[in-house]
Amino acid sequence: MREKIICGLDVGSSKVCAVIAGHNPSEPELNIMGAGEQECPGLRHGVVVNIDNTCRAVSAAVEKAESAAQVKVKDVLVNVNGHHIEGHMQQGATKIPRSDREITEDDVERVINAARAVPLSSDKQIIHAIPLDYRVDSQGGVENPVGMEGSHLEVEVLLITGDSAPINNLDKCVTRAGFGIKNPTATILAPAQTVLAGEEKELGCAIVDIGAQTINIAIFVEGRISYIGQVDIGSDYITYDLAYGLRTSFSEAKRIKENCGSAVEDEVLEGDVQYVGVDGHTSRTAETRRINRIIRPRVDDIIEFISNEISKSGCKQLIPGGVILSGGGAQLRGMDRAVASKLEGFQVRTGRPRGLRGKAESVNAPKYATAVGLVEYAVNTNTGFAFQDMAASGRGGFWEKLKTWIEEMF
């Protein structure tokens, strides 16, 4: 069976990242074909504030991924982020009207639609309706009711809603860049697909994606997503503190943070750091210990937000599988240890995309979890729209074209 090609496009507050992957239903692992990344000055706290800048970054990121993968992309799977994204638990119920009382796919669709029928203001829309638990008559905990017998079907659904305007603006950026998109995926669902082990979800765990300007959290209990939350703070805040404290530019502070920063005292690198002052030419020096002293209070702030979200979820006692970190902010040296020491009693680990083949090394970091996870989400939920046919979209050389031409003839 031929591979289908899928492109995940993570439109983040600091960068756009495109990952092109091949999926063959007979192979459990995604084939990473190429990835491309481009800085993006077009978003704030996960929401588009400059369409032209975002559109340019989308084009550049996809072009880089296309040239690495040697294929041309038509459609992309994109994530939507921002404070406007909210999760709500809703119930739906329906009667099974037929005499044989066997539940069909239509009944399931009807009960989910009943759960979706909530009054929403005209500027909001439903992004996902994720069925969590079905009840057939008095029997709860039903995973798939199709084919079962019963007279009454109920469902509990996690509805994820968002504001229409930011969703439409994101759509504009991607379509103006020349790509087709379908419904976007709420950001946190993506890293959860690729970073978490099934056992962690079963046991109960939290995924925390620490981005540049947002932190997204999802909590899984007994294998099911039970809570989503978002806060408008991220790793860029550490960069701002360093720029302020060291009197340097944002880009220089970012370089210092990524190369020499540490979230914990005992992982501080030895020695001093050379950098350029805010005037752009004066050479300066800072001790790595001083850099660590600037970073730590902001890391504490970030962890407090994470802790508050976990408390707010009401699931604090239900996540023995621990806290799994993703996103570029999780790449700060010692971040997992800092989180573990403040969130007492929780196991903490840094997650990266799992179960990949091909050019897996090119996406083997926490910051690629969203882009890879978008592809995994599409595969696992059967969102077929963005799949492109490999041969039809292949740019690869003469033999590939000849193969396509012969296949088209017959």
Ligand X SMILES: Nc1ncnc2c1ncn2[C@@H]1O[C@H](COP(=O)(O)OP(=O)(O)OP(=O)(O)O)[C@@H](O)[C@H]1O
**Which residue, 55 or 155, has its beta carbon nearer to ligand X?**
55
By the rule CB under 6 A, 374 interacts with ligand X? no
Which member of 4, 5, 7, 12 binds Mg ion (CB under 5 A)? 12
Tell me the per-residue interface mask from 203 to 242 with ligand X, x by CB under 6 A, - otherwise: --------xxxx-------------------xxx--x---
Q: Across 171-223, where does the E strand assignment appear?
A: 180-181, 185-186, 205-210, 215-221
Judged by DSSP in three states, 9 sits in: strand
Which member of 13, 31, 161, 226 binds ligand X (CB under 6 A)? 13
By the rule CB under 6 A, 12 interacts with ligand X? yes
Which member of 257, 296, 352, 359 binds ligand X (CB under 6 A)? 257
CA angle 403, 407, 410 (to 5 degrees): 145
In 10 A of CB 71, how many CB atoms? Answer: 23
By the rule CB under 6 A, 367 interacts with ligand X? yes
**Which residue, 96 or 325, has its beta carbon nearer to ligand X?**
325
Chain centre distance of CA 86: 15
401 phi and psi, to 5 degrees? Answer: -65, -40
**Which residue, 194 or 239, has its beta carbon nearer to ligand X?**
239
How far apart are CB 245 and ligand X at their closest, in Å? 16
**Which residue, 257 or 296, has its beta carbon nearer to ligand X?**
257
Which member of 34, 204, 229, 328 binds ligand X (CB under 6 A)? 328
Burial class (CB in 10 A: 0-12, 13-18, 19+), 150: buried
Which member of 204, 211, 261, 373 binds Mg ion (CB under 5 A)? 211
Q: What residues between 160 and 189 interact with ligand X by CB under 6 A?
A: none
Please choose, from the candidates 337, 86, 313, 88, the residue with its C-alpha nearest in 3D space to the C-alpha of residue 206.
Answer: 313
Tokens matching residue 75: 């459609």
Q: What residues between 21 and 50 interact with ligand X by CB under 6 A?
A: 46
Residues 170, 78 contacting (CB under 8 angstroms): yes
Strand-pairing partners, residue 274, are 285
By the rule CB under 6 A, 298 interacts with ligand X? no
Query: Using CB under 5 A, which of the segments 10-18, 197-205, 291-299, 331-339 binds Mg ion?
Result: 10-18
What is the greatest pairwise CA distance in the chain?
A: 84
Category of 29 on φ-ψ map: left (φ > 0), alpha (ψ -120 to 50) or beta: beta
89 phi and psi, to 5 degrees? Answer: -85, 130
Q: Kindly list the residues in this chain that would bind ligand X in the complex (CB under 6 A).
A: 10, 12-15, 46, 81, 211-214, 234-236, 239, 254, 257-258, 261, 327-329, 331-332, 367
